[in-house]
């Protein structure tokens, strides 16, 4: 049992599906010592499909014993490298901007800094959007074949490579 949005009801008999799901959930919780996955409140004798402590909607679900999450985790690592490196570079390069705000004088080439900082911000935004898409599609990724999961992870490995190539290329081009 895990926290998750309630699955779409079967067409034709949504009421019946929900009733039996709740009945299964109640029967399961009556016979086990499960706690709420969010707030750890003991759920024995629960009468609705929501945690009485935190209000989280609960569903009973069948899962693989060992979820196929290798590709998903690899993708998270690759995208985190990209986000971390572009954010760090941005912080390091905004040092000159901070100096300008304090002293009123910009040390160095402000046009280069502007292009460089805007590129880093763009890279950061795109990376965060990819991260959001990747997390939202966790279940879909697990359902793919081994070959497709490897291919998806390989594409995610390209994100930091392209990110670094962009930063280094821009640096060479502008300096
Ligand atoms: Zn709870």
Q: Report how far residue 133's alpha carbon sits from residue 150's, in angstroms, rounded to the nearest whole number.
A: 17
121, 97 Cβ separation under 8 angstroms: no
Cα–ligand 1 centroid distance for 71 (angstroms): 30
Cα–ligand 1 centroid distance for 2 (angstroms): 11
Cα–ligand 1 centroid distance for 91 (angstroms): 39
pLDDT for res 9: 47
pLDDT digits (tens, 9 = 90+) for 90-100: 888 777 777 87
Write the DSSP assignment of 89-133 as a string of letters: HHHHHTHHHHHHHHHS---S-HHHHHHHHHHHHHHHHHHHHHHHH
pLDDT digits (tens, 9 = 90+) for 63-77: 777 778 899 999 999
Residues of the chain with pLDDT under 50: 1, 8-13
Instruction: Provide the token pair at 145.
Output: 């074949």
Cα–ligand 1 centroid distance for 5 (angstroms): 14
Cα–ligand 1 centroid distance for 25 (angstroms): 15
pLDDT for res 10: 47
């Amino acid at each position: 049992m895990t926290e998750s949005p309630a699955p779409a009801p079967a067409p034709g008999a949504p009421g019946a599906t929900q009733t039996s799901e709740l009945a299964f959930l109640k029967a399961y919780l009556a016979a086990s010592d499960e706690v709420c996955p969010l707030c750890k409140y003991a759920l024995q004798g629960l009468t609705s499909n929501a945690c009485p402590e935190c209000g989280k909607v609960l569903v009973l679900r069948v899962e693989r014993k060992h979820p196929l999450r290798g590709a998903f985790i690899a993708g998270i690592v690759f995208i985190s490298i990209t986000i971390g490196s572009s954010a760090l570079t941005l912080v390091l390069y905004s040092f000159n901007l901070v100096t300008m705000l304090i002293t009123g004088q910009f040390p160095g080439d402000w046009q280069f800094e502007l292009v460089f900082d805007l590129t880093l911000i763009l890279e950061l935004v795109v990376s965060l959007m990819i991260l959001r898409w990747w997390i939202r599609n966790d279940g879909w990724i697990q359902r793919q074949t081994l070959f497709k999961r490897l291919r998806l992870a390989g594409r995610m490995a390209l994100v930091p490579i392209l990110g670094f190539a962009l930063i280094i290329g821009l640096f060479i081009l502008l300096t």
